[in-house]
Structure 1
Amino acid sequence: MALAGRRRPLTQDTSSRHDPELRTAARHFGRRRFFTVTAAAAALAFSANLPARGVAVGKELDGARIPSDPFTLGVASGDPLPDSVVLWTRLAPSPYEPGGGLPSQYVGVQWELASDERFATVVRWGLAIAYPEYNHSLHIEIEGLDPGRVYYYRFKTGSWISETGRTRTAPATTAAAAKLTYAAVACQAYHDGYFTVHRHLAQDDVDVVFHLGDYLYEYAVNSAGGARDYTDRKLPALYNREAKTLEDYRLRYALYKSDPDLQAAHARHPFVVTWDDHETENNYAGAISENNDPPQEFLLRRAAAYRAHWENQPLRGAQQPSGPDMQLYRRLQWGTLAQFDVLDTRQYRSDQAYGDTLHAPGPETDDPARTLTGTTQENWLIDGWRASQALWNVLPQQVCFSQRRFDVGPDARTSMDAWDGYRASRRRVLDGMKSAGIDNLLVMTGDVHVGYAFDIKEDFDDPASKTLGTEIVATSVASGKDGADRPGNWDTYMKANPHLKFYNGRRGYVRVSLDREKARADFRTVTAVTTPGAPVSTAASFVTEAGNPGLEPV
């Protein structure tokens, strides 16, 4: 997230107009050389680069020959379905080195899934290949499981055994699930502080975690880890630069995933991840970069970032990228209790209006030709709502959905990077929600490094207009450093936005409990992240009743 302007304003959405030709050109970039990346990185990023069929003799690295623990980045699971989960790990005995300290050879890895933590009853097992082309990452999609139950998993190569992870399947699609508790997190700048929030999340009793973006930041991290101010270690100099190439992004994920608190959260709960901007570059829009780099160059960078994202997250094969494209939006269900429509509001958006500055609404923000989601994703969302049989329809996504005025008065500025900069797009989504008969909309948001609770209004400029749903904004895990309970602009924001029911600037996560009668949101915050080990407490709690949108404090 950034509020400062940096991009020349565009009067038309040129990104969608040129996308096909740019992508066609991008797939041949391996033959060229750009100053931002090497030709070798280009070829890797834009080719399919799939491992050859079969196993080549002499290309195997025996796990017994790996001299130190290769499971330094932990384990993870994600995207729970009624009969399936995806398990993840990556082999990296030296995570801060290119290639993770392994040669360009494949490694055989055993995996096990059990119904108990001691693995007395193993229900699935197998052998997988960790290919160097995928940075020795594994994505194990296990099917045929029982719905609505907890499982435990682990990996082994040679004499090395990973830690044990805990995951779960969703209830059967038609099951009348009585309750669900999930958490939402976002924005974890390593250089801004410790991931204490994740340690507390690992100890919380939730069914699933939604990560709403900015899992990592492309910015440089100095040898002391920025605000972490390490005195007992020194990070390699290769981190003290902005990530741009595939190797850069891979190493950045290794840095983040080596954090023990983040590893603890992943090992305890299945994650559903989506991205925002910093997984690639601050405030990018489709094929348009922050600094108006030639789109051909930026699509090359985007391909590298997307590939590294897939390699390092518990995502299924359906999300594997093709060059600069990756379908991350997807739908999950929790019986008939909840439907989750996970959005991607970065890859398909029009360029931000008015040069991406804070700006009052104007003709550009209301231009129906401009979109935040792209037409295909927008239609997918509304069609999914029309077919939904769920009581709660939850929208995990990235940027503020509700109107957010930064000033009091008729010419108040709003963020051009959020839905306020795409008001016609937001109007279509809300109209689609109403036409689909959705009564219980719950939007989950990250990005802004503070906690908000909004009533979603029919007309945000009329406080008396109908309330259509609820938006819960998760604060950051670390971004923004320690923060404050009441930021200096608290009075202005509360006056300028009557539909804003809560505003807090501390770090933390949101825990949401759904049942057949209500949704309850608990804003869990810590006092500090610049020093480790801060306690967690509940800053505020709100309830919205099924069939009666509107937030009430508890």
Structure 2
Amino acid sequence: MNPFDLPRHLAERLPSRLQAQLPQRPLQLPIQLLHGLETVCGKLQQRLRWLEERSTPARAPQPAGTAEPTWVDDSRVCGLQIGEVGQHQALIWVRSPWPARLTLQWSGGADFDAAQELAMPDSLAAGDCISRLLLQDLPPGRLIHLRLQARRSDGGAGDWRHEGRFRTAPADSAALRFAWSADVCGQGWGINPERGGLPVFQTLRRRGLDFFVHCGDSIYADHPLAPELVDEAGRPWRNLVTRAKSRVAQSLEDFRGNYRYNWLDAGYAAFCAEVPQLVTWDDHEVVNNWSPGLALAADPRYTVGLGTLAATARRAFGEHMPLTPERAAPDAPLYRSLRYGPQLELFMLDMHSHRGPNDHNLQTEGADFLGPAQLAWLQRALAGSDALWKVVVAGMPLGLNVPDGLDAQGRIRWQGVANGDDGAPLGRERELAALLSFIKRERIHNIVWLCGDVHYTAAHFYDPEQAAFKDFLPFWEFVSGPLHAGSYGPLSADGTFGLQTLFSRASPLRGASPAAGYQFFGEVEIDTQGRMVVTLLDGDAQPLFRQELLPRRDDADAAA
């Protein structure tokens, strides 16, 4: 949780009559007080629920048949996603409106002359009507057109058809463009048809992207939606609300419903059918700031343990994201690399599944973040890559101080790598120091980090000349998000690795709605000569910051 979210987090748990008396602008509290508030948040939630039960007048009798709220029906949402695109392959993901037999055609032309036809696995009710197929032997650098037909498995009348398209990775040094961001439907801001639904996905669809990188928080399983909120301008915000989005997710059906929710927006569905995605997860796919030892029992909304919750969430993530069948398996690691032509390789990290507990993060040993297996994999993969650019996709920024309340001794717990201490690496920073020293020792150049999580956009340069720890090559990190969620202010920088903030844009109002204008995504372009340009944009695609990066070639290594 961003500490600045706490006033809103607490206010939302007040009785509705008391909420109406609060000022429209969220409270602005000192950071030290916020840390303390977060520590007692669980007890306050229980007390506030007790007060609400006793301060709410008895409800008038409900007419027959209206006692249960009317939820938006998400059972028939359907669509097509593309993922894991390479030169010769792409993963095709489908959700049909009912259990179905699926036929997929693909063609290099929109007229579907000489199209190839394949039978996809049947979509089954037990699997939430989802099917996936890894298309192989595709031509590189080609626009591929898709045509899908679904027929009901029960023999009932009617069928469903859908189309999509994508471009395979090039075999040569062709120019390419992709975008990244994070955070969808968080802080209570869901799909509001009166405000365009999820408008950023329509914007992204028009950008001519080769693919999109999702850095996580693709759902907010722990953030239920209310039918109506009031935004920072005092205007009503009316959410579509499904049964699954009316409560925190605990069951498999709850988590599945969180993913189905986004498909209620036509712009999101159109984006998914035309823009391939590479995905990882962050924390809200499970629960806020989750790590081993999280005291989930302190939150009265939950009746299951963290282990069960995380396992259920991982299964639903694998089901509903465009991952290969092997990677979608509940016990498969999410970290992986994907080559996109000779100029680019992406290294997708998982910053939650393998970490140790969030704690004071000042240990001299034994504080995992990526974990030993993922760290060793990343070192091998980076050293073995001959791609010109190596882009590391992370859920969280490396050098921002992201607090997570206080521990039993009154010390600040930390959610990320940084620990608020500008000195030598301690805690999880030691793992990062080992990685950065390895990169320098192996002379691996042209590494750029992309991340999300913090709900604002920024350009960070890590400079060994300004750092307490100096055994690394300088590198850039770019932050973007949210796509459609509350927006927040910038966090402080930890000095251990010399983080220099060259640009940041954040909402002056904590938790502001998507309508406030502080939604962000980033875009990366690589031209035929290998020049990279990173642009930070707002949700309307207005450029905010632009950084040109020139690659270091092998001949520069020889002269070094």
Do the two structures share a fold, i.e. TM-score over 0.5? yes
Counterparts of 2:347 and 2:533 in 1: how far apart (Å)? Answer: 19
Deviates more, 1:290-299 or 1:430-439: 290-299
Say if 1:223 and 1:237, in contact at 8 Å, map to a contact too: no
The 2-side partners of 1:296 and 1:169 are apart by: 43
Aligned to 2:440: 434
What is the total number of aligned residue pairs between the two structures? 442
Asked whether the 8 Å contact 1:189–1:479 carries over to 2, the reply is yes
1:121 CA drift (Å): 3.8
In the alignment, what sits opposite 2:224? 220
> Structure 1 residue 266 and structure 2 residue 272: aligned?
yes
State the 1:124 CA deviation: 3.9
RMSD, aligned CA:
3.3
Distance in 2 separating the partners of 1:405 and 1:277: 13
Query: Which of 532, 538, 541 matches 1:519?
Result: 532
For 2:415, the equivalent position in structure 1 comes to 417
Alignment CA distance shift 1:388-1:76 (3 Å): same
The answer to whether 1:170 aligns with 2:188 is no
Q: Does 1:540 align with 2:545?
A: yes
Q: Deviations over 1:219-263 (max 9, x none)?
A: 1112348869566x8534552211111010011111122222222
CA distances 1:352-384 after superposition (whole Å, capped 9, x unpaired): 122xxxxxxxxx335331111111010000011
Q: Which amino acid aligns with 1:536?
A: A
1:84 aligns with 2:89: yes
1:89–1:71: structure 2 CA closer, same or farther, 3 Å change rule?
farther
Name the structure 2 match of 1:120: 113
Aligned position for 2:129: 136
Deviation at 1:84, TM superposition (A): 0.9
Letter in structure 1 aligned against 2:165: R
Change (3 A) 1:287 1:321: farther
Partner SS for 1:353: coil
Distance 1:125 1:418, change over 3 A: same
Task: Give the alignment of 1:201-216 within 5 angstroms.
Answer: 201-216=204-219
Partner amino acid for 1:222? A
Query: What is the CA–CA distance in structure 2 between the aligned matches of 1:168 and 1:447, rounded to whole Å?
Result: 28
Cα offset for 1:419? 1.9
The answer on whether the counterparts of 2:183 and 2:485 sit within 8 Å (CA) in structure 1 is: yes
TM-score, normalisation: structure 2: 0.72
Question: Which secondary structure does the structure 2 equivalent of 1:367 belong to?
Answer: coil
- Distance in 2 (alpha carbons) for counterparts of 1:279 and 1:387: 31
Partner Cα distance (2:522, 2:95) in 1:
28
The answer on whether the counterparts of 1:2 and 1:282 sit within 8 Å (CA) in structure 2 is no
Letter in 1 for 2:348: V
Deviation at 1:462, TM superposition (A): 5.7
Report the alpha carbon displacement of residue 118 of structure 1 after superposing the two structures with TM: 3.9
Distance across 1 between alignment mates of 2:466 and 2:357: 24
Q: Do the aligned partners of residues 329 and 463 (structure 1) sit closer, same or farther apart at CA in structure 2, a change above 3 Å counting?
A: closer
Hey, what does 1:510 align to over in structure 2?
Answer: 522
- Please report how far the alpha carbon of residue 296 of structure 1 lies from its aligned counterpart in structure 2 after TM superposition: 8.4
Deviation at 1:431, TM superposition (A): 1.4
The correspondence of residues 321-360 of structure 1 with structure 2, limited to 5 A, is 321-322=329-330, 325-354=331-360
Equivalent residue number for residue 141 of structure 2: 148
Match of 1:160? Answer: 159
Residues 476 and 509, structure 1, Cα contact 8 Å, conserved in 2: yes
- Secondary structure of 2:522's counterpart equals strand
Instruction: Kindly indicate whether the alpha-carbon contact (under 8 Å) linking 1:286 and 1:346 is maintained by their aligned counterparts in 2.
Output: no
* CA distance in 2 between partners of 1:167 and 1:153 (Å): 8
User: CA–CA distance in 1 between the matches of 2:353 and 2:494?
Assistant: 32
| Structure 1 residue 197 corresponds to structure 2 residue 209 | no
Instruction: Give the whole-Å Cα distance in 1 for the aligned partners of 2:229 and 2:118.
Output: 39
Give the aligned residue type for 2:531.
K
CA distance in 1, matches of 2:265, 2:451: 24
Q: Check whether the contact 2:402–2:414 (CA below 8 A) recurs between aligned residues.
A: no
Residue 15 of structure 2 is matched in structure 1 by none
* 2:403 pairs with 1:390: no
Are 2:74 and 2:260, in contact at CA under 8 Å, matched by a contact in 1?
no
TM-superposition CA deviations, 1:128-160 (whole Å, max 9, x none): 311222111011111111122221213212343
- Between the aligned partners of 1:77 and 1:253, the Cα distance in structure 2 is 16
1:348 partner SS: coil
- Does residue 300 of structure 2 align to residue 299 of structure 1? no
* CA distance 1:225–1:169, shift in 2 (3 Å): farther
**Pair 1:179 & 2:179 matched:** no
CA distance in 1, matches of 2:552, 2:500: 18
SS of residue paired to 2:366:
coil
Structure 2 unpaired stretches of 5+: 4-33, 41-72, 152-157, 191-196, 404-410, 420-427, 507-517, 554-560
Report the Cα distance in structure 1 between the residues aligned to 2:161 and 2:522, rounded to whole angstroms: 29
Q: What is the rounded CA distance, in whole Å, between the counterparts of 1:170 and 1:414 in structure 2?
A: 45
Partner of 1:235: 241
Secondary structure at the residue paired with 1:301?
helix
Partners of 2:463 and 2:499 within 8 A in 1: no
1:469 shift after superposition: 1.2
Distance 2:267 2:359 in 1: 38
* CA shift for structure 1 position 451: 0.5
Aligned-residue sequence identity (percent) comes to 21
In structure 1, the residue matched to 2:486 is 480
Look up the equivalent residue of 1:153 and give its one-letter code: L
Could you tell me whether the CA contact under 8 Å between 2:400 and 2:493 is conserved in 1?
no
Q: Between 282-291 and 492-501, report the one with greater CA deviation.
A: 492-501
Say which is worse superposed, 444-453 or 396-405, in terms of deviation. Answer: 396-405
Distance 1:301 1:459, change over 3 A: farther
Is the partner of 2:453 in helix, strand or coil? coil
CA distance in 2, matches of 1:493, 1:125: 52
What's the CA shift string for 1:385-404, capped at 9, x where partnerless? 11111111110110111355
For the structure 1 residues 414 and 387, does the alpha-carbon distance in structure 2 shift closer, same or farther, using more than 3 Å as the test? farther
Contact kept? 2:402, 2:416, Cα under 8 Å: no
> Matches of 1:334 and 1:241 in 2, distance apart?
40
- When residues 369 and 310 of structure 1 are mapped into structure 2, their CA distance, relative to the original with a 3 A threshold, is same
Do the aligned partners of 2:170 and 2:340 also contact (CA within 8 Å) in 1?
Answer: yes
SS in 1 for 2:534: strand
List, as ranges, runs of 4+ consecutive aligned residues in structure 1 with deviation greater than 4 Å: 4-8, 68-71, 225-231, 286-296, 403-406, 462-467, 492-498
| Structure 2 residue 498 is the aligned partner of structure 1 residue 500 | no
Partner of 1:34: none
Could you give the per-residue CA deviations for residues 159-188 of structure 1, whole angstroms, max 9, x where no partner exists?
43333211222234xxx4243211001011
Native 8 Å contact 2:460 2:502 kept in 1: yes
Distance in 2 of aligned mates of 1:122 and 1:394:
35
SS at the partner of 1:433?
helix
SS in structure 1 at match of 2:284: coil
